[in-house]
Amino acid sequence: MAYYKTHLFVCTNQRDDGRQCCSASGGSSVRDYLKRRIKELGLAGPGGTRVNAAGCFGRCGEGPVMVIYPEAVWYSFANEDDAEEILQEHVIHGRVVERLKLPG
């Protein structure tokens, strides 16, 4: 059995040269939101869900982005509402959020 059932990697990469990056597009704040929600819902910890910051995925133009394992589903999100939809639908109910899904 895997240590975590579900693992969310949220890009929080920050560029200082003015080019688009996930942090400037809200990646860091949404990561913090997801960590808080996972804890509030009692889903955190071994056997549950883990939310991690990730470096650049090389998909800055589609960002901010996250990938969820073990399914390897990529998402783009605009705000906490999108993140909550991904949390409720994908993480809790096992349904891919097609409107936010990126090609893998």
Q: What is the pLDDT of residues 8-57, one digit of tens each?
A: 999 887 777 766 777 777 789 999 999 999 999 999 999 999 999 998 88
Q: Give the whole-angstrom CA distance, residue 50 versus residue 80.
A: 17
pLDDT, residue 92, reads 97
Q: What is the pLDDT of residues 51-103, one digit of tens each?
A: 999 988 888 788 799 999 999 999 999 999 999 999 999 999 999 999 999 99
pTM of the model: 0.91
State whether residue 65 is helix, strand or coil: strand
Whole-angstrom Cα Rg for the chain: 13
Domains parsed from the chain with CATH numbers = 6-102 (3.40.30.10)
pLDDT, residue 12, reads 87
